[in-house]
Amino acid sequence: MFERLQKKWGVSPGRLLLILITFALGGSATGYVGRKIMDLTAINTPWIYIPIYIIVVTIVWPAMVLLVSIPFGQFTFFRSYIIKLFKKISGRSNKTSITRIAIFASGAGSNAQKIIDHFRNHPSIKIALIACNKPGAGVLNIAQKENIPTLLIEKEPFFRGDACTEALRKAGIDFIVLAGFLWKIPLKLISQYPNRIVNIHPALLPKYGGKGLYGHFVHEAVIAAGEKESGITIHYVDEHYDHGDHILQEKVTVEPHDTPESLARKIQQLEHRYFPAVIESVIQTQNRR
C-alpha cells in the first residue's frame, strides 16, 4: 500500500511518512475541534448531533490539515490535494477538461516539436507553455512558430524563489514534461506537481544518470564503457537527478563501429517514437482515477 501511495503522489519514502503523519495529526485535530464546537451547541439528541457533527468536521478538516502541514513542510502538497478533492466532490473535475502541459527544455527542442505535433489536435491535452532557461535556445523559436506562450526561467528565482510555481499556476498548467531540460527540478516545484512531472533520459537508468550526464556526455560514457546496449528511460521526477520511478525503458544495440554521434541518432529515434505516446498514456491514466 505504501509503495502504491508513493508512486501515486510521486514522493520519496521520507516525504510519504511526513504526509501520512500530517493526515493522522490533521484528523486528530479535526476530531478535537469538532467536539469542542459541538459542545458549544448543547445538542444531546443523537439523531441530530451525529449529522451536524459530520458536517462540522467536514468543514473543519481542510483547515486543520493545512495548519498541521506547515511545520512538516507539506503545505503545497495538501493545498493541491484539497483543491483537487474539492473539484472532484463539487463535480467541477470532469473527464472532458483539458490537461494543460508545460514543456521544459534547454536546447534545440526536437523532442518538444514531436510532442507538440502529437498533441496538436488532441481533444483533452494541450501544450500550453514552453519554459526555457536559455535565452537563445532553439526551442524558443519552435514556440514562436507554433504560437505557444513561453516562460524564460531565471536561475535565482527558480532555485531560491518560488520555482516558477506562480507563473505555472497563472498559466493553468496541470502537467510538466522535461524534454532536454538541464537543471535539477527544485523540491518546491515537485511538491506542487506530485507525480505530474516526467523526464526522458538518453540511457538505461540507473546507469549513466546523475549530475553532468546529459546529451553527448551520456553517449560518450556508454561507448567508453564498452556497453552492448543503450536506450531511453522515461520516468517520474523526484528530488534527485534521474532517480524517479521508471515508466518505460526501450533499448538499442551499441555496435562496435558506433560513435557518440551515431548512438545519439539511434537514441533520438526512440525518444521521438515513444515519449509523446507515453506522456499521453500517463495523463489519461491519471485523469481516469
User: Among 122, 201, 219, 243, which one carries the catalytic annotation?
Assistant: 201
Do the Cβ atoms of 248 and 274 come closer than 8 Å? yes
DSSP 8-class letter at 112 = H
- Give catalytic status of residue 246 as yes or no: no
Going from the C-alpha of 246 to that of each of 102, 104, 205, 234, the distances in angstroms are 20, 19, 9, 6
The C-alpha atoms of residue 112 and residue 178 are separated, in whole angstroms, by 9
The C-alpha atoms of residue 231 and residue 202 are separated, in whole angstroms, by 6
Place of cell 489536435: 121
Cell numbers found for residue 234? 522515461
The one-letter code for the residue type at 162 is: D
Spatial CA neighbour of 199 closest among 265, 165, 248: 248
Spatial CA neighbour of 199 closest among 240, 145, 151, 253: 240
Neighbour-count burial for 62-99, b at 16+ CB within 10 Å, e otherwise:
bebbbebbeebebbbbbbbbbeeeeeeeeeeeeeeeeb
Spatial CA neighbour of 128 closest among 154, 147, 108, 152: 147
The C-alpha atoms of residue 74 and residue 85 are separated, in whole angstroms, by 16
The residues carrying an active-site annotation are: 201
